[in-house]
Amino acid sequence: MRWHFWLGMGVGVTAGVLTRIGMRNSRRLTVTQHTVFIPELPEAFDGFRLLQLSDLHLPRRDTMGARLLALVAELAPDAVCLTGDYAFTALSLAEVDTFFSQLASFPHVFAIYGNADYRPDITNVARQAWTRYFPFLTNTALSLMRGDQALWIAGVDDPHHGQDNLAAAMAPVPIDAPVILLAHSPEIIQRRLDPRIRLILTGHTHGGQICLPNGIALYNNTTLPALFASGRHRVAQADLYVSRGIGSTRLPLRFGCLPEVSVFTLRRGTTAS
């Protein structure tokens, strides 16, 4: 029965090595840069830079919040967009509160809620407390002003559980204004998209979290095809971006799918020419 012993040892060592690699991968922040061309973009916002943070799932007594704050300061975006799922559990609400309180010192922060923000252990009181730091766009929109020109940011509540109301979110927006839409899940594209929407920033999928080589996701926790697990897609008149997110769910492991901070440079026009 010796071979049973050595087989068990081999499996145990392999599992231990893979676990360490997966945990290390889950801490390896990457930055992706994207250019988005919008024909109707107001001239004052040509070159405007949006930074997206999604699916933080901040654990208790963890340094990820501090690392993200340092990265935001280094990248110096014009606005920060948060696309949901902030606490790992209710035990890490203090970490989220500290992160939000410090992030609020940066100009122009916008946020939405994700499905994990509605878990039973994350109370309405906790969610409402976050709104004292910056706006949470719960089926509504706000404008950023540069002189007399406006850039509109709309946000919907969690599409994964059907709490989104896209019509309400778009109601404040002028009829001819291009819109940046924040939605936690890419499942928002299953709705009838307003033609004013030009860029949709989403997360929720964690990019699959555990992927085959070339980032092929085994599971994306949505009703969409697997190709929508991460990355950039063209949907009607809009660019959809599905972030791989920052944190992990269930197990703190990532394979073939590193955590991601995304920066989007908005340009007026249709092509790089």
User: What's the per-residue H, E or C state across 151-209?
Assistant: EEEEECCCCCCCCCCHHHHHCCCCCCCCEEEECCCHHHHHCCCCCCEEEEEECCCHHHC
Tokens of 167: 């019509």
The CA radius of gyration of the chain, in Å to the nearest whole number, is: 20
pTM for the whole thing? 0.93
Distance CA 57, CA 85 (A): 6
Q: Quick one: three-class SS letters along the chain? A: CHHHHHHHHHHHHHHHHHHHHHHHHCCCCEEEEEEEEECCCCHHHCCCEEEEECCCCECCCCCHHHHHHHHHHHHCCCEEEEECCCECCHHHHHHHHHHHHHHCCCCCEEEECCHHHHCCCCCHHHHHHHCCCCCECCCEEEEEEECCEEEEEEECCCCCCCCCCHHHHHCCCCCCCCEEEECCCHHHHHCCCCCCEEEEEECCCHHHCEEEHHHEECCCCCCCCHHHHCEEEEECCEEEEECCCCCCCCCCCCECCCCEEEEEEEEECCCCC
Architecture of domain 2-268: 4-Layer Sandwich (3.60)
pLDDT the model gives residue 273: 42
- Taking the C-alpha atoms of residue 247 and residue 49, their distance in angstroms, rounded to an integer, is 23
pLDDT of residue 4: 58
Residue 28 sits at φ, ψ, to 5 deg, of -90, 85
Give me the residue spans of the domains in the chain: 2-268
- DSSP-assigned beta bridge partners for residue 82: 53, 111
Tens-digit pLDDT string for the chain (273 aa): 565 555 555 556 555 656 788 878 788 999 999 999 999 999 999 999 999 999 999 999 889 999 999 999 999 999 999 999 999 999 999 999 999 999 999 999 999 999 999 999 999 999 999 999 999 999 999 999 999 999 999 999 999 999 999 999 999 999 999 999 999 999 999 999 999 999 999 999 999 998 888 888 888 999 999 999 999 999 989 999 999 999 988 788 899 999 999 999 999 998 754
Q: Parallel, antiparallel, or unpaired for β 109-112 and 231-235?
A: unpaired
pLDDT of residue 15: 56
Task: Measure the CA–CA gap between 194 and 234, rounded to whole angstroms.
Answer: 14
